């Protein structure tokens, strides 16, 4: 058989000529039409990580706490008391661009099942969103639909949405970003694997029935979007059923209690094909599947439709034969289907039967292990041009402070998070709107976990390596404010086409930056995903947008502090002396219209020292409030602490031109009751962390006075700050 003919079925199924040749080389034959369809989906960028898996190896994935790292459905990290957390973030950008409600809703459903597949009860959701300007009709429609979809699924399934972020930029006009993270809790000795094992064990299909929805969704997610294709693509978007999702959670946790479950995985992207081949490949075994036994929602579905359907709320279990009846009965009691659809075999072949005939027979490794590409990489030609310090006009600082507070990236997000049930589960101790959310671990009091999601494309577009590190350090600073130590990182890396050398270079640099900061924090990256091809018609790519989710441990949930100033008379200090830069800052964007220049040097070791200092001060009860300096720098942080606490502040600024609005890592605004000030001073000195007393909490106005000056440069009533900051309408 000629290689040219061999490429026939494979290329017709959508594989590139290069991948088709690779298939031929690995199989030693031409795949048949069904196999070719399976391969095309498994080797899509979305499932196969072809352009990213080499670079992703640069991320640190190990720490003594890690129970299960990358390669499983979600990372699992020990948190003490015999418990562990499962944590993962994923993107659902492409489906949300076409059908915002269902795209976002199924994103929530999918990430919840990834956590459930580890044997963990899902207890919290985070979402990180990007849209174009909300005064334009399309971004507004997308934003409203996405928020409603997250609410529609998350609220019904009873997993609280406790935090996240929302940023606006014209680059997301056509391609919104919808990144969702879920955190679950599992006993450390009860973590479930997704590696099939034990020839003779049965393969149990559980959950909802299989329909024609979402066929080829993974391949669709790996292509650039074309507006005229949108209507046709709608069939590639799945529909969520949170009720079925809720049943699946409860039934699965009961089934695990009953025993006999060897392995399990969500049927998400590429459905049955992905779950079966990945589970068999991980376990080094084979699997036989009989499609005639798959519960169907509609008649006369073709075998490849059954194999590739992305119908939601389905999972694949490997179960000991003796336990199969008991496990199936539990699912049926919850009103779900449960059918034995196959067996685990010793021969490392994935064999698919339909109508009594073998329709596909190939090694699961070939499906599960897509080729790794090493695409050309080149820095953008204008990189050094971008790094020139911005020339910024003289502006009135009060005026610019109010404009910064009104900017959508800074403005209040109450209108969004009030649509999410964030208190169901009675674990939410620190609610949305603070630096990080804190949930109590009801199973092991007084332990808690803290969660935050962060991303900043402005920094990453200017300098991806610095930006990647700064984003991680910023998230760690948020955790420190509630006394949490980061123990697990998950990330969504949202980029344009990796086939463009500048995009690929940016991607790799971002990963290096994230890796550097994670190493400094000793926080492993335990999972996540990559979303490439975030480009609209005509090749307009989004800005490089890594989003990180950090989970941290809080030893005692009663010992956290709020972001806002608590009492008049408390002393205000700024902690940390990391570089602050106006380059690529929100200030530069607001006053000059474009965020030019280079972001601050992350200097991770220095930032981490300040982060640890604040964390320990919070844990020891020394601080009255803690808030990190992020977008808009010290000025915005002070304003936010005033608004959150309902107090004014009189502050004398430290020296330096960038102190007011410059952005950089590891800087905090804290307030301290006067008797505690000496304690904090000693704590910071002992660690060599610089801090500077700025003033005190007083009155109902924010007054900022330059060093040595008598007159205030900024003097604004807190009510006026609040009026500017008033919530974004979505």
d(CA 724, CA 456): 22
Shortest spacing between CB 646 and other proteins, in angstroms? 13
According to the binding rule CB under 8 A, does residue 424 interact with other proteins? yes
Shortest spacing between CB 186 and other proteins, in angstroms? 16
Q: 102, 155, 658, 676: which one contacts other proteins (CB under 8 A)?
A: 155
- Name which of 249 and 575 has its Cβ closer to other proteins: 249
Q: 68, 96, 337, 419: which one contacts other proteins (CB under 8 A)?
A: 419
Looking at residue 210, the DSSP 8-state letter turns out to be B
d(CA 285, CA 348): 5
According to the binding rule CB under 8 A, does residue 253 interact with other proteins? no
Q: 35, 99, 127, 241: which one contacts other proteins (CB under 8 A)?
A: 241
Please confirm, yes or no, whether 647 is among the known catalytic residues.
no
Paired residues of 572 in beta bridges: 671, 695
Shortest spacing between CB 80 and other proteins, in angstroms? 19
Measured between alpha carbons, how far is residue 587 from residues 393, 538, 652 in Å?
A: 11, 31, 20
d(CA 685, CA 581): 25
Only segment of 237-245, 309-317, 620-628, 638-646 that touches other proteins (CB under 8 A): 237-245
CB atoms closer than 10 angstroms to residue 310: 29
Nearest 5°: the CA angle 78, 62, 429 is 35
Q: How many residues interact with other proteins (rule CB under 8 A)?
A: 32
Specify the length of the chain in residues.
Answer: 730
- Nearest Cα neighbor of 284 from 351, 361, 363 is 363
According to the binding rule CB under 8 A, does residue 313 interact with other proteins? no
- Name which of 182 and 651 has its Cβ closer to other proteins: 182
d(CA 134, CA 415): 13
- Name which of 15 and 186 has its Cβ closer to other proteins: 186
CB atoms closer than 10 angstroms to residue 322: 10
According to the binding rule CB under 8 A, does residue 422 interact with other proteins? yes
For the window 323-362, what string marks contact with other proteins as x by the rule CB under 8 A?
A: -----------xx---------------------------
Question: Which contiguous run of DSSP H or E holds residue 339?
Answer: strand 337-345
Shortest spacing between CB 311 and other proteins, in angstroms? 16
According to the binding rule CB under 8 A, does residue 242 interact with other proteins? yes
According to the binding rule CB under 8 A, does residue 558 interact with other proteins? yes
Angle between helices 137-157 and 242-258 (to 10 degrees): 40
Shortest spacing between CB 108 and other proteins, in angstroms? 14
Shortest spacing between CB 428 and other proteins, in angstroms? 7
Measured between alpha carbons, how far is residue 250 from residues 69, 333, 455 in Å?
A: 25, 11, 33
- Cα 147 to chain centroid, rounded: 16
According to the binding rule CB under 8 A, does residue 644 interact with other proteins? no
Only segment of 223-231, 427-435, 506-514, 622-630 that touches other proteins (CB under 8 A): 427-435
Residue 571 dihedral angles phi and psi, to the nearest 5°? -90, 145
- Name which of 65 and 246 has its Cβ closer to other proteins: 246
What tokens were used for 625? 């409030």
Shortest spacing between CB 245 and other proteins, in angstroms? 10
Paired residues of 438 in beta bridges: 430, 450
178, 93 Cβ separation under 8 angstroms: yes
Please confirm, yes or no, whether 92 is among the known catalytic residues.
yes
Q: Which residues bind other proteins (CB under 8 A)?
A: 148, 151, 155-158, 241-244, 246-247, 250, 334-335, 417-426, 428-429, 431, 440, 442, 557-558
Q: Which residues are tagged catalytic? A: 46, 92
């Amino acid at each position: 058989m000629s290689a040219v003919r061999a490429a026939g079925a494979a290329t017709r199924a959508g594989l590139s000529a290069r991948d088709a040749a690779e298939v031929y080389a690995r199989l030693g034959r031409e795949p048949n039409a069904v196999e070719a369809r399976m391969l095309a989906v498994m080797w899509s960028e979305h499932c196969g990580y072809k352009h990213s898996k080499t670079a992703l190896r640069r991320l640190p994935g190990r720490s003594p706490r890690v129970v299960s790292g990358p390669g499983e459905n979600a990372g699992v990290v020990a948190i003490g008391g015999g418990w562990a957390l499962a944590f993962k973030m994923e993107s659902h950008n492409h489906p949300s661009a076409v059908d915002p409600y269902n795209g976002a809703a199924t994103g929530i459903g999918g990430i919840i099942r990834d956590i459930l597949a580890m044997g963990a009860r899902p207890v919290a959701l985070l979402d990180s969103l990007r849209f174009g300007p909300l005064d334009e009709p399309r971004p507004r429609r997308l934003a409203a639909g996405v928020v409603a979809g997250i609410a529609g699924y998350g609220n019904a399934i009873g997993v609280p949405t406790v935090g996240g972020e929302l940023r606006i930029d014209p680059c997301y006009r056509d391609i919104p970003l919808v990144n969702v993270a879920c955190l679950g809790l599992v006993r450390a000795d009860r973590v479930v694997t997704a590696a099939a094992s034990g020839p003779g064990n049965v393969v149990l299909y559980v959950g909802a029935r299989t329909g024609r929805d979402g066929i080829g969704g993974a391949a669709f997610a790996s292509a650039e979007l074309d507006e005229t294709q949108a209507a046709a693509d709608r069939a590639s978007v799945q529909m969520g059923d949170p009720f079925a999702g809720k049943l699946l959670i409860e039934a699965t946790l009961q089934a695990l209690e009953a025993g006999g479950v060897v392995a399990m995985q969500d049927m998400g992207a590429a459905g049955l094909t992905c779950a079966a081949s990945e589970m068999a490949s991980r376990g080094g075994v084979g699997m036989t599947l009989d499609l005639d036994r798959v519960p169907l929602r509609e008649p006369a579905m073709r075998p490849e439709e059954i194999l590739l359907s992305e119908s939601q709320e389905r999972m694949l279990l490997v179960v000991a034969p003796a336990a199969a009846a008991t496990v199936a009965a539990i699912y049926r009691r919850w009103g779900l289907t449960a059918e034995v659809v196959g067996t685990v075999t010793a021969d490392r072949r994935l064999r698919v039967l339909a109508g009594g005939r073998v329709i596909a027979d190939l090694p699961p490794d070939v499906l599960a292990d897509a080729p790794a590409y090493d695409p050309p990489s080149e820095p953008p030609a204008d990189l050094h041009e971008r790094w020139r310090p911005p020339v910024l006009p003289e502006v009135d600082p009060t005026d610019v402070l109010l404009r910064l507070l009104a900017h959508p990236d800074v403005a209040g997000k109450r209108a969004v998070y009030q649509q999410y049930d964030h208190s169901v589960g009675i674990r939410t101790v620190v609610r949305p709107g603070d630096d990080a959310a804190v949930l109590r671990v009801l199973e092991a009091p007084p332990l808690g976990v803290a969660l935050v999601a962060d991303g900043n494309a402005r920094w990453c577009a200017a300098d991806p390596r610095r930006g990647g590190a700064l984003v991680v350090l910023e998230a760690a600073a948020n955790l420190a404010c509630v006394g949490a130590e980061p123990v697990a990182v998950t990330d969504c890396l949202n980029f344009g086409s990796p086939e463009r050398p500048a995009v690929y270079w940016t991607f790799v640099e971002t990963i290096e930056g994230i890796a550097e900061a994670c190493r400094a924090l000793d926080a492993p990256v335990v999972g996540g995903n990559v979303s490439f091809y975030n480009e609209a018609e005509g090749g307009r790519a989004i800005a490089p947008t890594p989003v990180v989710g950090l989970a941290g441990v809080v030893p005692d949930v009663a010992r956290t502090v709020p972001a806002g100033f608590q009492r008049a008379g408390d002393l205000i200090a700024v902690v940390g002396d990391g570089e602050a830069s106006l380059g690529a800052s929100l200030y530069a964007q607001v006053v000059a219209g474009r965020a030019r220049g280079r972001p601050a040097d992350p200097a991770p070791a220095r930032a981490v020292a300040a982060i640890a200092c604040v964390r320990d001060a919070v844990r020891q009860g020394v601080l009255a409030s803690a808030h990190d300096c992020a977008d808009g720098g010290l000025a915005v942080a002070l304003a936010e602490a005033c608004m959150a606490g309902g107090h004014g502040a009189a502050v004398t600024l430290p020296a330096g031109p960038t102190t007011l609005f410059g952005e950089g890592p590891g800087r905090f605004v804290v307030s301290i009751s006067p008797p505690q000030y000496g304690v904090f001073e000693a704590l910071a000195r002992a660690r060599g962390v610089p801090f500077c007393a700025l003033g005190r909490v007083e009155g109902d106005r924010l007054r900022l006075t330059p060093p040595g000056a008598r007159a205030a440069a900024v003097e604004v009533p807190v009510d006026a700050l609040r009026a500017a900051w008033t919530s974004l309408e979505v």
